Amino acid sequence: MDTIRAMPPAAAGPTSEKLADGVFRINGAYNALAVEFADYIVLFEPGPQNEARAQAIIAETKKVIPNKPIRYGVISHHHFDHTSGLPAVVAEGITIVTPAVNKAFLETALSAPRTLAPDSLSRSGKKPVVEGFAGDKRVFSDATRSFEIYVIKGLPHADGLVIGYLPKEKILVYADMFNLPPPNDPVPNPPVVGTMVFLDNIERLKLAPDRLLSIHALVPDRLTSVADIKASLGRK
């Protein structure tokens, strides 16, 4: 969906919205989700678009959850518009978390010499730390909550695309698989493959989200529901 829809203008400054205790949407043309744990913060989609955007996400996260390190940054998938800000994420000392299939690519891309246009990573002298997790699930948890990362199966869009799910708060964060259709548009025929795959995976994993946050800002800009997804597919 990145390529077919014009990008909304950049916001004047980073803003955020509290979705639950310790859970914040960091707003933008590309949203991020900040999740607070006892000793650290996990950011879902820490480095979209460019370095400036990643730095704005990091700054807003530190503002809403002060005095804790952002330890992990989970990327939704490896496409460039979701990863172009990662040098700033590495410079911040954040461990990038992604399925093992993406690890070598990211390490190579983030370790290449940056002599033409030095960025925050080359200036920091930091080495990228990429956790490539095995299997289909990675869970962050402590006494307060858990945040479950699942690999989506059967998607043509990208290998190793993940969603994040907060089972207690019933919030799900995802990229690229569902876009709100214009009101009163007929149900597309054939249906949108990514959206069908998304719904299949939500059902396969037996997730029960009340609210879904799209990484891409939707029009209108709001959280959605499984009912919205089903309606877009002409299902009840």
70 near 43, Cβ under 8 Å?
yes
- Least distance between Zn ion and beta carbon 155 (Å): 12
Of 92 and 176, CB closest to Zn ion: 176
In the complex with Zn ion, which residue's Cβ is closer, 91 or 175?
175
Q: Sketch the per residue contact string, 120 through 159, with Zn ion: x for CB under 5 A, - otherwise.
A: ----------------------------------------
- How many other β-carbons are positioned within 10 Å of the β-carbon of residue 121? 21
Cβ of residue 80: shortest distance to Zn ion, in angstroms?
10
Report yes or no: 135 and 98 within 8 Å, Cβ to Cβ: no
Instruction: Give whichever of 69 and 80 is closer to Zn ion, judged by the CB atom.
Output: 80
Residue closer to Zn ion by CB (options 51, 176) is 176
Nearer to Zn ion, 2 or 203 (CB): 2
Kindly tell me which residue out of 60, 92, 169, 176 binds Zn ion, with binding defined by CB under 5 A: 176
Taking the least distance from each CB to Zn ion, the nearer of 169 and 176 is 176
To the nearest whole angstrom, how small is the minimum distance from the Cβ of residue 77 to Zn ion? Answer: 8
Q: Does 2 bind Zn ion (CB under 5 A)?
A: yes
> How near is the Cβ of 2 to Zn ion at its closest, in Å?
4
Shortest approach of Zn ion to residue 157 CB, angstroms?
A: 9
Binding-site size, Zn ion (CB under 5 A): 2
DSSP string, the chain: -TTTSPPPPPPSS--EEEEETTEEEE-SSB-EEEEE-SS-EEEES-S-S-HHHHHHHHHHHHHHSTTS-EEEEE-S---GGGTTTHHHHHHTTPEEEEEGGGHHHHHHHHHS---SS--HHHHHTPPP-EEEE-SSEEEEE-SS-EEEEEEPPS-SS-TT-EEEEETTTTEEEE-SS--PPPTTPPPPSSPPHHHHHHHHHHHHTT---SEEEESBPPSS---B-HHHHHHHTT--
Stretch that binds Zn ion, among 94-102, 104-112, 113-121, 176-184 (CB under 5 A): 176-184
Report the nearest approach of Zn ion to the CB of residue 21 (Å). 29
Which window, 60-68, 98-106, 174-182, 217-225, contacts Zn ion (CB under 5 A)?
Answer: 174-182
Stretch that binds Zn ion, among 47-55, 144-152, 170-178, 189-197 (CB under 5 A): 170-178
Q: Answer whether 44's CB lies under 8 Å from 32's CB.
A: yes
Q: How many CB atoms lie within 10 A of CB 97?
A: 25
Binding residues for Zn ion (CB under 5 A): 2, 176
